[in-house]
A = this chain, B = another copy of it.
Amino acid sequence: MTLSRYLPILEWGRRYNRSTFTGDAIAAVIVTIMLIPQSLAYALLAGLPPEAGIYASIAPIILYAIFGTSRTLAIGPVAIVSLMTAAAVGDVAKAGTAGYVTAALTLTFLSGAMLLAVGLFRLGFLANFLSHPVVTGFITASGILIAASQLRHILGIEAGGQTLIEVIANLWAQLGEINFITVALGGSTTIFLFWVRDGLEPLLRRLGLGRRMADIGAKTGPVLAIIATTLVVWAFDLGERGVAIVGEIPQSLPPLTLPSFSPDLVSQLAVPALLISIIGFVESISVAQTLAAKKRQRIDPDQELIGLGAANLGAAFTGGFPVSGGFSRSVVNHDAGAETPAAGAFTALGLALAALFLTPLIHYLPKATLAATIIVAVLSLVDLSILKRAWTFSRADFAAVSVTILLTLLAGVEVGVTAGVLTSILVHLYKTSRPHIAVVGRVPGTEHFRNVLRHNVETQPHILSLRVDESLYFPNARYLEDQLAAFVADKPELTDVVLMFPAVNEVDLSALESLEAINTRLREARIRLHLSEVKGPVMDRLKRSDLLAALTGEIFLSQHEAAQKLSERQGPAPAKPPLG
């Protein structure tokens, strides 16, 4: 029971049969074809040799198949995590050096270890702090950044950069070095791929293919582009005329590699590894949950962390780089009929065969083609409409999205996502620090009490009923004191204040001090303080304090009860001796 929770393979493996095998195998063939160019492209994006992309798609997939809970999530290199890898590793080593590869392995190891630890300690809920608008904004900005950074491969120049300004400035500075053959090759591939994305599927359907097959056929379009451009480069020997090609790739299974554990490197890469882990996890889990919902399956977020952690640890020791669950390939896997994670294992087998036998064939593959596949893929992630949706719905969400997008573009991925999370948290704290406090009255003919400013309600002059629309805790404790003083001022006829607590979900020690101060001050003004609709958990806590003993008024189960009892009584509260 417990074992199969940590090893979901025991669960689905027991029921494995021929029909599941067929579905898995077909899906695996299609995903393998799709994953080969993606792996090479994302390795390029991460600043690593192309074979690293293939290696990152073998061991990690097998490990995820054993530990993961999603039946159809396809693990491997993904665009945004690859960009984040380039940013993090680029800060500590120069691209193309052995140090760069080692640093990438260390980053992968750290990320895997963190994911595993968070999963084992069941802290997966932490990912919720990455709000939906922040994730959408971050993916959008990263997509723009990735597309811009890949332009150099289309233009055949060497301009790098981690922010949009750097990228554009570097492209501009080297505009004179453009290789026009590369531009022709890369430009036509990009146009072809855009057409494939939007036009191939309708064409295939007109040619008589079913909806599913047409869809899958369209997704394998990049393979056609790769074959065609490789042949062109080989036939006209364009590699000699300045077109950057993939070149020699070792023909081997993934090597056994060791990350470096030098304390310097580990401390420099710890924060980027954390950010990569969070982003990779959030991307994976949303894909996994979307696909699981379609088949009414369950995803266990903490076990997903364990699966992803194992996958990344696997990548760290087999020449890979950070991996995650990819959106498009998971959808293809699902639509192609994958039923269990075994489909992933078969994909790994396909990639291992590719690593052994296909690598000589892609010697002449131009980097511009890979860049074109990246650009077309990431531009579909860009969703600037989130800005409009957030603006309409709430200024707070708009602030979080726009900070995320702007800072990701202008200061890089790490700053961007961190600033997004911090903005959402700070905006929330700011809002709760000035809660909405409404004077309420009875909706005629009911026992229900609503805001006097919004509803036509009945009130009594000697009773002031205030509904506090927020948990009472340190950021707003003193604010309540100030507001109450303002509400009570200049009302000589007032004898009773009722604080209505249906929306108070918590009272902390700072708020308790404020409530005690309010009680004392109202008593000195000969006004009784009552509470109504105090929720169970809050009441339990107040019982452990001195407030209830000192309270000049009562605790009412409902506001209706409070209004009834208090309207029967009249006259000011009896003066009591001061507390001290």
Do the beta carbons of A509 and B477 come within 8 Å of each other?
no
Q: Quick check: which of A104-112, A129-137, A180-188, A341-349 contacts chain B, the rest being far away? A: A129-137
| A389: Cβ under 8 A from any B Cβ | yes
**Contact-size category for A:** 35 or more
Query: For A502, what are the chain B residues with a Cβ–Cβ distance below 8 Å?
Result: 502-503
Residues A510 and B425 in contact in the complex (CB < 8 Å), given A125-B433, A469-B505, A537-B436 = no
A434 to B, closest residue via Cβ: B125
Count the copies.
2
**Among B130, B396, B544, B557, contact of A393 (Cβ-Cβ < 8 Å):** B544
Do the beta carbons of A479 and B560 come within 8 Å of each other?
no
Interface of A is mostly: helix
**Among B132, B394, B425, B503, contact of A513 (Cβ-Cβ < 8 Å):** B132
Query: For A470, what are the chain B residues with a Cβ–Cβ distance below 8 Å?
Result: 471, 505
Closest Cβ of chain B: how far from A240's Cβ, in Å? 51
In the complex, what distance in Å separates the CA atom of A560 from the CA atom of B446?
9
Query: For A509, what are the chain B residues with a Cβ–Cβ distance below 8 Å?
Result: 131-133, 389-390, 393-394, 397
| A161: Cβ under 8 A from any B Cβ | no
Do the beta carbons of A508 and B435 come within 8 Å of each other?
no
| A94: Cβ under 8 A from any B Cβ | no
Query: For A513, what are the chain B residues with a Cβ–Cβ distance below 8 Å?
Result: 132
Do the beta carbons of B443 and A557 come within 8 Å of each other?
yes
Given A432-B471, A502-B503, 18 more A-B residue pairs with CB atoms under 8 Å apart are A125-B475, A128-B433, A129-B474, A129-B475, A131-B510, A132-B509, A133-B510, A134-B474, A393-B545, A394-B508, A396-B508, A397-B509, A438-B536, A446-B560, A447-B560, A450-B557, A469-B535, A503-B505
Residues A478 and B536 in contact in the complex (CB < 8 Å), given A443-B557, A446-B558 = no
User: Which residues 107-144 in A have Cβ within 8 Å of B in the complex?
Assistant: 125, 128-134
**Among B132, B454, B512, B558, contact of A448 (Cβ-Cβ < 8 Å):** B558
A296 to B, closest residue via Cβ: B524
Query: For A535, what are the chain B residues with a Cβ–Cβ distance below 8 Å?
Result: 436, 451, 469, 503
**Among B125, B390, B448, B541, contact of A557 (Cβ-Cβ < 8 Å):** B448
Query: Can you sample 26 A-B contacts with CB below 8 Å?
Result: A125-B479, A128-B477, A129-B433, A130-B474, A131-B477, A133-B509, A133-B510, A389-B509, A390-B509, A393-B509, A393-B512, A393-B545, A394-B541, A425-B425, A428-B473, A431-B506, A432-B471, A432-B505, A435-B505, A436-B535, A438-B536, A470-B505, A502-B503, A503-B504, A503-B505, A503-B535
